[in-house]
Structure 1
Amino acid sequence: MLTLNHFNFNVSNLERSLQFYQEALGLREVQRKAPEDGRFIIVFLGDGKTDFRLELTWLRDHPQPYDLGECEFHLAMQAEDYDAAHARHKAMGCICYENQEMGIYFISDPDGYWIEIIPAR
């Protein structure tokens, strides 16, 4: 039996991404890995409720923006207070797509990754 452990996004500016994920989604750093030569930094973020982690990877030798293709993948997060989350994300200016018929919306992180926000069901 396999269980979900983590999902990775490579980021171009680690500090900017850490600030975004804390402000937008309430995720906090739970683990960090960095070799002495500084070629990469891996930070795992958690929600404080589940064991699932979001891994942010910064690579020193990848200065160009990441090519996300058609962005046909995304991470989904459930909002306990959907209206409050929507208001916060609207104020941050990070909502990139809304589907009112389905009752969901997406935000975009600083590198262009999409995160789906769904209400508690």
Structure 2
Amino acid sequence: MASFTENHPGVVADAPAATRGFVFNHSMLRVKDPKVSLAFYSHVLGMRVLRKLDFPEMKFSLYFLAKLEEGSEVPQDVGERTQWTFRQQGILEFTHNWGTEDQPDFRYHDGNAQPQGFGHICFSVPDLAAAVKWFDENQVPFVKRPEQGKMKDVAFIKDPDGYWIEIVQADLLANLGR
């Protein structure tokens, strides 16, 4: 299959040769309490922690999570696993600034309140109805259910820090935006 991308103003015709081998590795979210966030992302969304890095001198920790394919082989050696983690695609990084979990009124801006900025991350699921049922069983708060609003078959849930997570089923979206 030939490589294809849409052409829009500002898009260069060919990716510069200097960018060959570049991989989009991860996006970062700041989390108030890693125990709560890790429980949510591992139980509700099935993600696994690939690597945790602590920086005591700066009082923060990084957690790198991924939704691994069944049978994925992750290196056991810490150094090899760190290198492997930074070669992957679609990683989610949590940054935890130590002590925020003990501040009752502390919260991060979710990007959707004013002024808007960051919007959401997205998970594609094989069965949207089954995912919605799973989220309901786990009392996950919805921003938007699939049947609500003008964009049908798209849901938005919230994580423990209030970040929005879009939930889609790819084969329901062929007519999206047409």
Q: TM-score, normalised by structure 1?
A: 0.87
Task: Note if contact 1:82-1:120 (Cα within 8 Å) is conserved in structure 2.
Answer: no
* Dislocated runs of 4+, deviation >6 Å: none
Instruction: Please say which structure displays the higher CA radius of gyration.
Output: 2
By percentage of residues, which structure has more strand? 1
Aligned length: 121
- Structure 1 residue matching 2:24: 3-state secondary structure: coil
Could you say what secondary structure the match of 2:55 adopts? coil
Q: Aligned residue for 1:45?
A: 65
Question: Which residue pairs with 1:70 in the alignment?
Answer: 112
- Code of the residue aligned with 2:134 in structure 1: it is R
Query: 2:156, 2:164 within 8 Å by CA — same for their partners in 1?
Result: yes
Query: 1:1-121, aligned counterparts within 5 Å?
Result: 1=19, 2-37=22-57, 39-49=59-69, 51-60=89-98, 62=100, 63=103, 64-71=106-113, 73-94=119-140, 95-100=142-147, 101-121=151-171
Q: Is the 8 A contact 1:7 1:55 kept in 2?
A: yes
- Further displaced range: 18-27 or 38-47: 38-47
**CA RMSD between the two structures:** 2.0
Q: 1:76 to 1:69 in 2, by over 3 A?
A: closer
Q: d(CA) in 2 for partners of 1:110 and 1:119?
A: 23
**TM-score when scaled to structure 2?**
0.61
Q: CA offsets per residue over residues 55-77 of structure 1, 9 Å max, x none? A: 01100154421123435510011
Residues 42-99 of structure 1 show CA distances to partners (whole Å, capped at 9, x for unaligned) of: 0010010373100011001544211234355100110012222111111222222124
More displaced stretch, 15-24 vs 61-70: 61-70
Query: Which piece of structure 1 moves more, 108-117 or 96-105?
Result: 96-105
Q: Which structure has more RCO (C-alpha within 8 Å, separation ≥ 6)?
A: 1
Q: CA deviation at 1:27?
A: 0.5
5+ residue gaps, structure 2, are 1-18, 70-87, 172-178
Is the partner of 1:107 in helix, strand or coil? strand
- Measured at CA, do residues 51 and 69 of structure 1 come closer, stay the same or move farther in structure 2, by a change above 3 Å? closer
Identity %: 28
